[in-house]
Amino acid sequence: MLAGSAWSAEPPVAPANGEKPWSEQFTMVLKEHERTFVVYNGAAYLVMQADDLKDPGFLDRKDVMIDGKFERADRDKAWFYHLDKLVALAPADRWATRLEGDNLHIFGKASTGTAANGLPQVTLAVTAVEVAASDAQVIAKLIDAVPANDYDARLKLAASVRETGQAQGNRDFWNVSADNIVVQAIDAALIEAEAKKDAKLLHKAMGWAIDTLKDPTVAARVGSQAWIQQAGGPDAEAVARRMRALDFEFYNGQWRPRPEAYVLQFDDRFNAIAWRDAESYYKLGRWVEANAELIPRARELSHRAYQAAYRADPKHNGTRRELGLEAISAGGGDKSTPKGPFNHADSGLVLDGPEGWLRSDPISGDATWIDPKSDTAFVSIKVLQGDSAGVDFEAAWTRQRTALQGRQGFAVIEEVDLPFRQGKAKRMRFSYKEGRYTRLAETVVAYGSEAKCAVVLDGSFTEGEQDAVGGALLELFERLVIPAAKEKGAIKQPSADGAGTQDTNST
């Protein structure tokens, strides 16, 4: 029994409850290698290793114990994963209750012979079969041995579990278990990162999701943590760059795959449009078509918007053109644009446009002015009150900046504070992607501390229009006065349907 070659042996796996089916184990040197033996029912068994099957003569007439993963049985014969040269013989009832993937301790006497294919084969005459710990129990025991906050050790364990799975019959289970270990490490890191406001740890967790898990949806969950978005600054920008590189967009407080984000944006914009607002429905349809490469079912969605526009105003010529209908005289879409100063009835804010610029239909916000010398440059104003304004300037600025960071290709060019007698203000110049093109833009956020009202001034331009748009925004900002209460200069008139208020200078 002591003759033959040998390899070093690891102790066999014990059941999850800690009780081993053998009474003791010991080691002995066989052919210059230390081997493990176990004592079961008073007899000693050599713990067989898979490599022992390369030299069947070594096992001949030895009492051995195999840690095997059950593969299949045929009456009194059984086979085990990755032990192709071995067949176990036992009464059929020994294998009747066994399931594929079961871990077993098999005790018996080995003998050598020749298989039906003419190759050497080891036959094990089984004397006993004991159930070993399941794969799930083995992995759980390994996890319990590593502290939850020892992230490097947890990641090494995941790699080890994944590697072990390559030699298992149920490889998928081991791979899923390895992924779960990484996800648990990420979740624990997120809890610690939020408690400590540790952006560096959050970026590590995002790296594990991208590089180890290769799962951008988990990375999106990491990058969508509210505290990092509220903090803003370089750390939030770094998150945004990594997520945009994965074709994700920040929308409604969460990083999402770009197609999903655009579809949600369409739904929200569609549902927010008043049912008689044909122009807004028409513009939404045009937006879908401009981003058709990124939006699933783009043609269906744009047609839905045009149909809603047509129901709102059958005479809107823009809509009629998109639906393939003939234009009509004095149709919708040809109405005159607003003129004169912008008047926000609810806040009482009144603001003249930049010198030489023309008032147009709102492109964004509540009012828009365009540069008559340009086809692309415009500036807009948006007034925020109540919850949308935020409790202070920091809340208002963070909210606006977070929304901008979600744009594709967002990158800050310049960010400066502006003096504002009524509270605080800040200006930011940035670039972003619009389809295949890079756009330049600038935003100014001013917050009236007494009125609890925020005003957002936006400008969009090409590189050659930067000075003109920047000057127009500063001109608007210098004229900006936020009334402390709406009674001071508030001009309120009924809207077209007799309810609410409207800009008294719109026509």
Query: Each residue of 86-114: b (16+ CB within 10 Å) or e?
Result: bbbebeeebbeebeeebbbbbbbbbbbee
Give, for all 507 residues of the chain, the pLDDT tens digit: 333 333 233 333 444 444 688 988 899 988 788 899 999 999 999 999 888 888 888 888 989 999 888 989 999 999 998 888 899 999 988 888 888 888 899 999 999 888 777 788 899 999 999 888 888 888 888 999 999 999 999 999 999 999 888 877 678 888 999 999 999 999 999 999 999 999 999 999 999 999 999 999 999 999 999 999 888 888 988 999 999 999 999 988 899 999 999 999 999 999 988 877 888 899 899 999 988 999 999 999 999 999 999 988 888 888 888 988 887 765 555 445 567 889 888 888 999 999 999 887 777 788 888 888 876 788 999 999 888 888 999 999 998 998 888 787 889 999 999 999 999 999 999 998 765 567 789 999 999 999 999 999 999 887 788 889 999 999 999 999 998 854 444 434 333 333 333 444 443
β-sheet bridge partners, residue 433: 438
* Model confidence pTM above 0.85: no
Residue 90: partners with Cβ closer than 8 Å, 6 or more residues away? 76, 78, 108, 126, 129
Q: Which of 338, 358, 359, 463 is closest to 413 using CA atoms? A: 463
Domains and CATH numbers, the chain: 24-133 (2.40.50.200), 145-246 (no CATH), 259-322 (no CATH), 342-479 (3.40.1000.10)
Instruction: Give the SS3 label for residue 91.
Output: coil
Instruction: Give the SS3 label for residue 254.
Output: strand
Give me the half-sphere count of Cα atoms (radius 13 Å) on the Cβ side of residue 309.
27
Q: How far does the chain reach from its first CA to its final CA, in angstroms?
A: 104
Greatest alpha-carbon span in the chain: 105
| Dist. CA 98–CA 306, nearest whole Å | 63
Q: Which of 268, 148, 104 is closest to 157 using CA atoms? A: 148
| Dist. CA 59–CA 477, nearest whole Å | 90
Residue with tokens 């916000």: 365
DSSP secondary structure of 97-143: T--TT-EEEEEEEEEEEE-TTSSEEEEEEEEEEEEPPPHHHHHHHHH
Give the C-alpha distances (Å, rounded to integers) separating 308 from 175, 239, 277, 282, 312: 49, 38, 9, 8, 6
| Dist. CA 153–CA 143, nearest whole Å | 10
pLDDT at residue 301 in the model: 94
Angle, CA 415 vertex, CA 412 and CA 418 arms, to 5°: 155
